[in-house]
Amino acid sequence: MQLKDDEVIQGLVATEFFRGAVYINLAESAPHNQPPNKKYDGVGGHLFAIAIKLSIAVDCGGYVFFDAKNTELVEHYADKFGANLLGARIHQYRMEIDVDAAQKLIEKYTLEGDLNVR
């Protein structure tokens, strides 16, 4: 993800189409956007909004799922993004963002430009 008219990478998101849904493999803010000295706030939300926009583009309605790294992030994603803990056997911190929460996220995190899907 980049700012308009700026080539500096602010964050990256990696996704894949998996069993009829979009799985977020990785969503990571650039080092200069991580605590304690963030240059920009909200980069993570924009990265998830990009994945949701992709989910809509491939007819998944905005539904995405991912694996949080720890319990603190489970709480963060639930609080900030409306994500739900699935607690799947494959990963104890597997989470989803359903279509209702997805719509709220893309309304909050305005995006411009192409997805540049590769």
Residue 5 CB coordination number (10 Å): 5
Distance, CA of 53 to CA of 47 (rounded, Å): 10
- Across 26-30, 54-58, 82-86, 114-118, least confident range: 114-118
The beta strand positions in 30-83, using DSSP E, are 64-67
Would you kindly state where each structural domain of the chain is located, as residue ranges? 11-108
CA distances from 112 to 3, 85, 97 (A): 9, 30, 21
- Check residue 9 and report its DSSP letter: B
Determine the average pLDDT of the residues in 52-80. 95
Determine the average pLDDT of the residues in 21-27. 95
Q: Which of 19, 4, 24 is nearest to 105 (CA)?
A: 24
pLDDT digits (tens, 9 = 90+) for 31-57: 999 888 889 888 999 999 999 999 999
Determine the average pLDDT of the residues in 95-112. 91
Determine the average pLDDT of the residues in 52-72. 94
The CA angle 8-14-20, to the nearest 5 degrees, is 150
Determine the average pLDDT of the residues in 8-26. 93
Q: Which residue type is seen at 44?
A: G
Three-class secondary structure of residue 30 per DSSP:
coil
Q: 28: pLDDT confidence band, cut at 50, 70 and 90?
A: very high
